Structure 1
Amino acid sequence: MRSLTVMKGVNLQFLWFKRLMVKMEKLIVQSGIFVFAIGLLLGRAVILNEMSPFAIPFFASILLLKREYAKVTFFGVILGASFYSLENSLFVATGAMILLLLNKMIERRSKDLLKTLPILVLISGFSSRVLFMAFEQSMVTTEFIVAAVESSLSLLLAMIFLQSIPLLTLKPLKRTLRNEEIVCFIILLASILTGTIGWTVYDMSLENLFARYIVMLLAFIGGAAIGATVGVVIGLILSLADVASLSQMSLLAFSGLLGGLLKEGKKFGVGIGLIVGTLLIGMYGGKTLTSVYPALLESLVAFLLFLITPQSAIKKIARYIPGTNEHSKEQQQYLKKLRDVTANRVEQFSSLFQTLSNSFTQAPSLNEDGKDNSEIDYYLSRVTEKSCQTCFKKEACWVNHFDKTYDFMKQMMHNYEKTSTNFTFQREWDKHCVKSKKVKELIQYELSFYEANVKLRQKVAESQRLVADQLLGVSQVMGNFAKEIQREREHHAFQEDQIVESLYGLGLEIDTIDIYSLESGQADIEMTLSSCSGHGEGEKIIAPLLSDILKETIIVKKEEHAHYPGGLCTLMFGSAKAYVVETGFANAAKGGAFVSGDSYSTIELSSGKYAIAISDGMGNGERAHFESSDTLQLLAKILQSGIDETVAIKSVNSVLSLRTKDDIFSTLDLSMIDLQNASAKFLKIASTPSFIKRGDQVIMIESSNLPIGILQEFDVEVVSEQLKAGDLLIMMSDGIYEGANAENKEMWMKRKIRELKTEDPQEVADLILEEVIRTRHGDIQDDMTVVVANIQHNLPKWKTIPFYSSNLKRKKAQ
């Protein structure tokens, strides 16, 4: 308990210290102290012993980007310049004043100050230097050349500082830094370090110490490329300020390269790279260890500062540098957030469609006969309004004997023809009502309006149920889509290493590999090969190897080859289905015409199902062909969207029934085969039976529904059947089934199917069509279409390749 209390106290102290540091950072930045210090160093910075190109560009950039700090910066650069010399201070002050004057003049006319500011810096620096030359009476050609070079450098630095200064605000950025921005920021840091030239602590040069610290920090974050680049840039700028520091460029560049290469050894690895680089460059030219001691001491102190740098600060910087793990995590978090937002919106739409579907399924209150009570009451009220309202026995009938009167009138309404011939009922009604004849006539007259209203309401209710089913189907599709969006890419480091090393052992080099899923039956792998000869490596080598590693049959789903020799090729692998379907078809138009009113289609859906459909348009010729083909196109689009097949058929029926006013309709015969377990669903809309041949056994599948497009609402009867490997599924239009010249067409068709000696689906289709035509002596009396599907186990084409690395085996065992 005591230890927990101590740990809690330590954590509170750490949080308090962290909050204090954050407040101090904000105070330093917001008060302008930070900008003032930078201006002080840049004002003091001089290159080639006489050029001061840093102060005016920095002041100009602050004037444009952070105008509230312009005064602080103005005094900072002038004070810094005075540390170097009074002449330099006057030069910077004059240039800053000229810049302010020019900026005031241009500010009202130019809208894009970012483009005009560097030009103003050029003019200000050159004008200030020329004024000093005139004052000192030293207007010679060399001085003009120096002034031109100095002002040109100021122009370049102004463009660099405009990109770098926003990075000094200590505010978290929402984007990744570009390579140009990183280089510009390094130039700004090197320029600031130039202002420390000449400052020493215990014979250690501050510019060398901080330069090596920055090189180590960025080499540790970005690797060898970033480390070497930073070393070259900082070393070059420092050598311009002090020729004696020319060797520092080699030292920093080499140390950054070594440190980046040794970054896997953490901070100590980067530090060793700096120490080794210092010793090698320092002892270059036969120098003794004693002469290397000052540089070695600076490197050791810089290494010590690097060791005490908080890891949180390093990670904060690494988030903005491309190629780092922190940057990758930041990008993944952003993509995850974007994916979650998108999935949330899709779920909201799914919920909306679900709510709309529920609202359309609310049915009116019905009585025991299935009639709408409100409609009956409205009908009877219209009858009584024209008869009972003016009757003197109104109160006696509708107050004292309400139930009896209501039952009489409702019985006459529902069974008018029977009650008209029922003399017993007529006598009782005549006794009860003094206007019995008039009421009967009104009931007969209003009955036609009542029946019309009932039919209209039924159609509206049917349309509502259809819309509700369609909205429910859309809601389910969008819900499934939202779940797929939220599925994160899984990490399979061991499998990736295993695949890469195994393929490398076979002589194949992988450029990239992405494993999205390894679930059984849903494997999804994409890889890019460095070189591809196009001789089927994916199908013959990689897929069998993946099959052995993942313990399931893997096939190539898609290949993308480069259009030039030796180029990259992308291969996409996935799980093979347990069953495959091979189809064959045969058709003939009525009278041997070219256009048949029958249409057929086979579709392999992404859900792992195989759909076979036949549609027969009413009649023959182009119009019938248009109706049947349009039916199958609509069905294919809806099925591919992921909507349930029953809802899909109802949707197609609704579209066709609303689209045409002509008496042209279509039949539909649809079978859905699940390729994982070979279960099949048959949905038949006014279509002929289908047959399954299993050895010598023939199974007939049939159901009855009206043709599609006649009614706006109908119940789809679904017949389920479990298929087996080796089964032949035979589907046909009525031209085949009814076309045979036989007394019992069902028995004739079963006999012909049973007598088939081949299992090739195309041969079976041709034989059945030929047998039917032969029975009519070559006369084709109707459009004929037959589709045959052969269901077989999906056997791999190539044997698996067992290839494992002993290193990976040991890794897995550990």
Structure 2
Amino acid sequence: MKTQIVPYQKNSILERMHGKTRGGISAGLAISKNNIIFFLLSFLLGRVSLFGGLMPFGLAFYAAAITSNANRFLTAAAVVAGMATGGARTELYTALTFMVLFSLFTKLLKNSAEKENLKHAALGFVSAAVPQIIMAWLQGFLMYDVLMALLNSVLVFSMIYIFRRGMPLIEGTKKKGVIGNEEMISVAMMAAISLSGLGGINIFGTSVLNALGILAVMLLSFKAGPGVGAAVGVIVGLVINLSGPATPLVIGSYAFCGLMAGLFRNIGKMGTAVGFILANAVLTLYINGSTEVIIHIKDIIPAALMFVIVPKKVIEDVFGAFSQETEASKDKPAYSRRIKELTVERLNNFARAFEELSKTFSEISQTKIVAGKQDISSLFDRVADKVCKDCSLCLHCWDRNFYNTYQVMFKIVENLEKKGWIDESDIPEYFMERCERIGEFVRQVNNVYELFKVDMVWKNRIGESRGLISQQLDGLAKVILNLAVEIDGEIKFKSDMEDVLLFELRNKGIKVNDVVVCENKWGKYEVNIFHNGCAGANKCLDYIEEVASSVLGRRMVRGKNECIHNYRTGMCNLKLVEAEVFSITTGMARSSKYENQVSGDSYSFMNTGSGKYILALSDGMGTGQAASSQSKVAISLLEQFMETGFDQDTAIKLINSILVLKSDDDSFATIDLSAIDLYDGKIEFVKIGAAPTFIKRQNKVEVVKTVSLPAGILSDIDTELVSKNADNGDFIIMVTDGIIDSFKLEEGGEQNLIKFIEDIDSINPQGIADLILAEACSKCKDKPVDDMTVLVAKVWKR
């Protein structure tokens, strides 16, 4: 036998992806990245079902994949396996028939239909409809079966059309840098729907679908912040609903957890994970009293562990690659505009959904439940059941003398409502003479009435909690609507200024790669400059700010985050914003109650980064640690809400509802808020049970006060907004009621404080705060009867 040496033939990548060699030997089942991707997608999409029986996604993916580089036999086997593990029975026969018909149709009409998405989808509709209608005919031709067959066929038609858009990306044949929005949406839908195919798969009691969904929320919250975290939470909630019974509350829960995880991202990955867990715990406590966990901790813990273990560099590489991949699409204004419109539309829809949910909770909640005739009758029945049922005179009292007995019971109820209890002296004599168990009767009436009162208290508490949840959902709806308005707002790019600024910076020897100049919705310029960095030479401060201000004709300064260095690319991103017209300097002085080490007052100074400066002061109920805890909660929540973009009214209402639900004990605190616009000098004051605020203008003092209860007392509060305009050199002086009470120890009261502030000639806010506190302490002989805090802010033009 002769040995024949055959020359080596190198198969091209394209040929190997098609599963063929030049020798005609099929290699379609060879292990490759593409085959693995197609197999996993086919299997997972095949598992997804709708309305308890429709399985259109696996069939649609098969139809979209077989005209690409996917191996049709491997894809078909994966789809069938997915459907079988997903609970399909008779659907397997219709699926196999679909695959045969569709393959036959595409071969017969290959030249005219294979490369046209619409015709391709139409073939899928016919291939899906024929076997299902035949199956319906064999089972009795019920109208329901026919309608479900048509619905399944329509879904197959739609999904084929969508999936085919993303096939080039799945295959890897799409050129990098020219990815369209339609292709990205197609791939995103495939990924999201296939993820729901993991529903029902558990590992050691952990839902794989839920754990991966939570991991996705944590990753994007950590990388992109609370806004994106909330949006991803909504998507994950929708996907989880797709794979199981519809639970709208889950969508809101994932959104809220994503929001809170994003708020804690500055602490690090551990902070993001803890933020998610705490948000879930808070929602569970508030919504259903910890009786049923919304997102199970057994799903959160594995996801949190995976999230913490993943190195930051891996996260940066993944998201960095994605950012580069989509960079080329930013020059497509039509696509960008359409995506923005879709996003705004979806956000508006979500906002409307939360508004409807808020209305529903509001309708089913009652501010106060009072006892009705049915409740009184129930009380009578319980007493009779415990005392009279086995009595020999039961028939005499509750049958022959029913009317008289009921009259006695109503008189007893009147006494119960007056005193809260009864004794034998409250019972008519003729009834006492007739009743053989009068002592037991009195004891049981008191016991049953006690239980009745407790029941009424809890019913009222539940109704109040529903009302508070309604307020919180309404607040969330407003935030989403505001986000939609911001996204919908037009941003004007100044391309002519970009060219001039780029030229001038390069003339100064600064290696600038790109410049973006835009005008935001408030008419203020924002500049992003991408350059090679200056190795700490402060060129940002020495050159770039000066050049940008000269070119734009407005004073530009570094933004809140200054210059951000990307260690992966070596580039720096410098953001410049218009300089604020006004600046704020602050001072604070405080003293705790006599013989108390801890002050119950809390305060905050905060520049929100959006042109507003916030002064906040809170006085907790009483003094000491308990009061301090209440005021700290109020201030901490206010800081988070204002920084996230909540308006003042919504933020305060949410804080109020949280304080109401915080504990069974009285838990309330005053909220004193002053928001200063650093561009036009407008000041907005919001006071919830707070002491007056004083505006010192030279030698005159203006008083700002409102009348309201502290937060945490009533479930529904109305906020009153007071607006003033600040001038250069004005002082805003905020105090707690301890200061006011000290001045009231002498005749003249509050007027003494006003006169004292008028006479102060210091221009140092810290000095003014110290003087006011010292004077207040002297009024009470250095033995304060309450915690005292003074905040002073000086407003001055730059």
Of structures 1 and 2, the larger Rg is shown by 1
| TM-score scaled by length of structure 2 | 0.49
| TM-score scaled by length of structure 1 | 0.48
